Amino acid sequence: MHPAASIIVFTTLSGAGFGLIGFAGLGLFDPSRATIISACLVALGFTVAGLVSSMFHLGHPERAWRALSQWRSSWLSREGVLAIVTLTVFVLYGGIWLVTGFRSDVVGAGVTVLAALTVYGAAMIYASLKTVPLWHTILTPLCYLLFAAAGGGLLATLISAASGEFPQPLATAALILTVVAWAAKSAWWARASRTGLAATGSTPETATGLGEIGRVRLLEAPHTSPNYLMKEMVHRIGRKHAETLRMIALIVGGALPVVLVLIAIAASGGWLLLLVATLGHFAGVLAERWLFFAEAEHAVSLYYGHR
């Protein structure tokens, strides 16, 4: 699949934003006025920026609102509806908390659940596609949820530490979530290495129905120039390049943040360490999301001679 920059940015930023919204709903960081304002602004900034970036992938962004009407059958529509509901409830929840100083545990828990459902809906846009074997697994939404939680945890820890109070339990939670997220992604990659169109029995022979005659090969390109399907659904990346990027993502997005957060926990402070750890996490997730799309094989590629 073509790794569109707008979708990569969307899934990375919005995931972390909704992760931070989830932590805000649980009220796990310092409840000072400065921390609440910072957390709400960062969460809204990340989620809105991510959602806006996703619109650049549409042929007609001005018609994006129409996607919301298909929520009964489309995960894309469900994700959009859930995002709007989550942001609306979160703004009301954060506003009441900020103005009155009262935080409702029930409403906060609802905000966290809505944030998790929104991330799950975004992941199911891809996990529900049987035509892309690499994505069609429960590990896909699991990885999306864990990376959102890890990103949100790192942001919440950074915001609290920058406000003057180092949150030891929150930092520990962010550390554990980061480790678990990359462990789940490693399992996803292990499955991907043995899962593809060929592994599921899909070949040019089965796609064209000409397998009984013999091996099918493309004699002439079906188009004089690349069409939409060839641009969006067919992308090739070398195995060595993919393995190198995986290693970079694991080191920069996983190992580096873990080491830096451990140092910060041991020193009971150091918001600069947390800032570098958070930036490293985002860099690693961006690489992971690029590979998520670049390595995926869509069944339509079989009609263009891809094996």
If you average pLDDT over every residue of the chain, what do you get?
A: 84
Higher pLDDT among residues 204 and 255, named by residue? 255
As given in the structure block, the two tokens for residue 156 are 């919440």
Please state, in angstroms and rounded to a whole number, the distance separating the CA atoms of residues 277 and 154. Answer: 8
Number of separate domains in the chain = 1
Residue 77 · residue 99 · CB < 8 Å: no
Please state, in angstroms and rounded to a whole number, the distance separating the CA atoms of residues 111 and 239. Answer: 41
Residue 23 · residue 127 · CB < 8 Å: no
Residue span of the structural domain in which 137 resides: 5-304
**In this predicted model, what pLDDT tens digit does every residue of 237-247 receive, in sequence order?**
656 778 888 99
* Of 80, 100, 98, the residue nearest 90 (C-alpha): 98
Residue 80 · residue 10 · CB < 8 Å: no
pTM comes to: 0.86
Higher pLDDT among residues 160 and 231, named by residue? 160
**In this predicted model, what pLDDT tens digit does every residue of 2-57 receive, in sequence order?**
667 888 888 899 999 999 999 999 987 767 778 888 888 999 999 988 877 777 65
Residue 97 · residue 26 · CB < 8 Å: no
Check which CATH number belongs to the domain holding 80 and give it.
1.20.1630.10
Please state, in angstroms and rounded to a whole number, the distance separating the CA atoms of residues 289 and 292. Answer: 5
The H or E element that residue 273 is part of is helix 271-294
**In this predicted model, what pLDDT tens digit does every residue of 184-210 receive, in sequence order?**
999 999 998 877 666 666 667 766 677
pLDDT for residue 213: 80
Q: What's the sign of the alpha-carbon dihedral 11, 16, 19, 21?
A: negative
pLDDT for residue 28: 79
**In this predicted model, what pLDDT tens digit does every residue of 81-97 receive, in sequence order?**
999 999 999 999 999 98
